[in-house]
Amino acid sequence: MYRVGDKVVYPHHGAGKIMKIEDMEVRGQLREYLTIQILHNDMTVMVPVDSADRAGLRKVVASDVVDDVLAVLHGNPTKMPKNWSRRYKHNRDKLKTGDIFEVAEVVRNLAIRHCDKGLSTGEKQMFSKAKKILASELMYARDMNEDEANIFLDAVLDEVGAAGPAAHIDAHDLAHEVAPVA
């Protein structure tokens, strides 16, 4: 089912490339493992082949699916709970699925909320992680490098007016652009 060189998504960490498939003995049991290099966070993950599906491992989406992902990013925000802890749990559960459309929805909703009302510290971390996970899959789906994928995603978020001022303008720089009142 999986081969060396396949590009796959591991829900908790993002997209990566299968570097090797090997038999390993763990706790006296011989199992076949996939060694996956997750480029965006410089991590190597080993996943047992027989439980890869349960772990949520899947192949990276095809290039033509990216247009559907972009439609999600351009879509209207989902109605979210007002309570930050419920909102955080809701988004965390969506990220756990590993589904690219769910991840895109979380990125869109957090980007818009960041722009409109700001994010809690936990939500800022989640937003950053969700963007990295999404960009890592877009990178492989559209055959880009990591920087190109991040720039592409930021540009899409800019298009929908959701990247927020902090994405490109430092508050310190903004303060210097305001003309003094006479």
Among the three residues 37, 58, 79, which one is the final residue of a domain in this structure?
Answer: 58
Residue 170: predicted pLDDT: 34
Whether 136 is in a domain gets the answer: yes
Residue 79: predicted pLDDT: 87
Residue 61: predicted pLDDT: 96
Whether 122 is in a domain gets the answer: yes
Residue 105: predicted pLDDT: 96
Residue 41: predicted pLDDT: 81
Based on the domain organization, do 105 and 154 belong to the same domain? yes
Domain that holds residue 116: 63-171
Whether 176 is in a domain gets the answer: no
Based on the domain organization, do 53 and 137 belong to the same domain? no
Based on the domain organization, do 67 and 34 belong to the same domain? no
Q: What is the pLDDT of residues 138-167, one digit of tens each?
A: 999 999 999 999 999 999 998 876 544 444
Residue 182: predicted pLDDT: 36
Whether 72 is in a domain gets the answer: yes
Tokens coding 101: 């459309």
Q: What is the CATH number of the domain that holds 165?
A: 1.20.58.1290
Based on the domain organization, do 39 and 88 belong to the same domain? no
Give the pTM: 0.83
Contacts of 65 (CB under 8 A, 6+ apart): 100, 141
Give the rounded distance of the alpha carbon of 154 from its chain centre: 12
Whether 53 is in a domain gets the answer: yes
With a cut of 50, list the residues of the chain below it in pLDDT.
Answer: 163-182
Rounded-to-integer distance, Cα 92 and Cα 87, Å: 8
Whether 179 is in a domain gets the answer: no
Residue 96: predicted pLDDT: 92
Based on the domain organization, do 164 and 93 belong to the same domain? yes
Whether 181 is in a domain gets the answer: no
- Is there a contact between 154 and 167 (Cβ–Cβ < 8 Å)? yes
Domain total in the chain: 2
Based on the domain organization, do 159 and 86 belong to the same domain? yes
Residue 166: predicted pLDDT: 41
